[in-house]
């Protein structure tokens, strides 16, 4: 391994001068700094971050703690944040929790032990007390999801408005028996999306029915598939379904094809998120498009500024972005009589 002694011998400089040049010390001339950096690059020198961390310095690692990278929202976030961090000489480290608070705690312990520069986190529904304490000692920001115990810095979506708009679209077409498949209420995003669905119905004088609401793990397409089968087996099935997560949308689209449901003639569908395949699925999926890439970029740039210029306090900061309805062929006015289907 190439050391500062090797660089010093190569350039016939003292080891202390090389060390100061690599640390951008103001006592060293720019000409010497350039010579040292060029030699370090040519010789393949890699700075000993472990030694610096032992002296109390933070690493250049930023942790991204998310539930499930298979969700297109989180894969988009990882891509955007990775590019931003690399541009500022930070290294993004991905950690999946699978919505398990103990796995989340383990990841945060490792990030803390490695003196991570900071953490971007989409928290589990109920973070462990140890996780709360660990994050108090690290710069962090919550993304998409938020939990009150983890502070007031958050970048997210207007989830309530997104589901209000989706449900209102179906109401405007004449649907009154509208089902909802979404995340459970132990997640703040799940609560807000269910509230948006319910408020849209109430605003039009339609009473929400628990018979038409199916809640479950947001990352489970299988839950959505079974939920659609249950809904269509009701004595009076829905004429439309609105979805509250990307994975639930994928599950319902697969189930609808498998069951031979004619969309939108027998059932109208409004998805959540706008993956590339949604535009050419069947007649084209009507869905709520969400600016996930923009949210991730805003979050990343804000967090970099905070890391490079630490604030004196810990004042709350929130950024909320809105989605928009993309109308395609999967929604239409209900038929006068909707044929009951069985799974």
Report the distance separating Cα 254 and Cα 230, nearest Å: 15
Alpha carbon distance 59, 168 (integer Å): 48
Burial 39-72, CB ≥16 within 10 A → b, else e: bbeeeebeeeeeeeeeeeebbbbbbbbbbbeebb
pLDDT of 342 reads 33
pLDDT score of 47: 65
Q: List the one residue out of 336, 211, 270, 164 whose CA is nearest residue 278.
A: 270
Burial of 31 (0-12, 13-18, 19+ CB in 10 A): exposed
Task: Measure the CA–CA gap between 292 and 159, rounded to whole angstroms.
Answer: 12
Strand partners, 155: 143, 319
Rounded to 10°, the helix 129-136/101-113 angle is 30
Q: Which residues pair with 25 in a beta bridge?
A: none
In the prediction, which pLDDT does 26 show? 84
Instruction: Give pLDDT, residue 54.
Output: 42
Task: Please state, as a whole number, how many other Cβ atoms lie within 10 Å of the Cβ of residue 311.
Answer: 10
Beta bridge partners of 157: 321
0.95 cut: is pTM over it?
Answer: no
Q: Please check whether residue 191 is in contact with residue 180, taking contact to mean a CB–CB distance below 8 angstroms.
A: no
Residue pair 272/159 in contact (Cβ under 8 Å)? The answer is no
Which residues of the chain, if any, have pLDDT below 50? 50-56, 339-343
Q: Is 134 helix (H, G, I), strand (E, B) or coil?
A: helix
> Which element (helix H / strand E) includes 119?
strand 118-121
Structure tokens that stand for 225 in this block:
């598939």
Using alpha carbons, select from 145, 113, 88, 156 the residue that is nearest to residue 306.
88
Q: What is the pLDDT of residue 169?
A: 98
Burial class (CB in 10 A: 0-12, 13-18, 19+), 310: exposed
As beta bridge partners, residue 288 has 272, 325
- CA dist 237 and 256 (Å) reads 14
Three-class SS of residue 278? helix
């Amino acid at each position: 391994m190439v050391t500062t002694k090797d660089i010093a011998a190569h350039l016939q400089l003292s080891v202390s001068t090389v060390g100061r040049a690599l640390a951008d010390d103001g006592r060293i001339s720019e000409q010497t700094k350039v010579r040292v950096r060029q030699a370090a690059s040519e010789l393949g020198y890699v700075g000993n971050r472990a030694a610096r961390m032992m002296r109390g310095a933070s690493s250049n690692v930023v942790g991204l703690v998310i539930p499930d990278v298979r969700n297109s929202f989180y894969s988009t976030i990882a891509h955007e944040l990775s590019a931003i961090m690399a541009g500022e000489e930070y290294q993004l480290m991905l950690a999946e929790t699978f919505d398990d608070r103990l796995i989340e705690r383990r990841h945060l312990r490792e990030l803390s032990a490695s003196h991570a520069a900071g953490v971007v986190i989409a928290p589990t529904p109920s973070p462990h007390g140890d996780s709360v304490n660990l994050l108090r000692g690290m710069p962090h920001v919550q993304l998409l999801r938020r939990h009150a115990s983890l502070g007031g810095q958050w970048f997210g979506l207007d989830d309530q408005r997104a589901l209000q708009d989706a449900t209102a679209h179906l109401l405007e077409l004449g649907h009154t028996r509208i089902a909802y498949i979404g995340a459970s209420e132990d997640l703040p995003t799940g609560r807000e999306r269910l509230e948006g669905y319910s408020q849209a119905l109430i605003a039009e004088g339609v009473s929400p029915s628990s018979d038409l609401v199916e809640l479950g793990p947001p990352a489970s397409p299988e839950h959505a598939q079974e939920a659609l089968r249950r809904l269509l087996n009701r004595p009076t099935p829905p004429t439309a379904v609105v979805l509250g997560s990307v994975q639930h949308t994928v599950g319902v689209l697969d189930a609808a094809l498998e069951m031979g449901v004619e969309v939108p003639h027998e059932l109208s569908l409004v998805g959540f998120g706008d993956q590339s395949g949604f535009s050419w699925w069947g007649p084209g999926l009507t869905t709520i498009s969400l600016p996930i890439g923009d949210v991730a970029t805003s979050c990343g740039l804000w967090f970099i500024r905070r890391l490079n210029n630490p604030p004196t306090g810990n004042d709350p900061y929130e950024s909320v972005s809105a989605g928009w309805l993309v109308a395609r062929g999967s929604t239409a006015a209900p038929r006068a009589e909707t044929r009951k289907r069985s799974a």
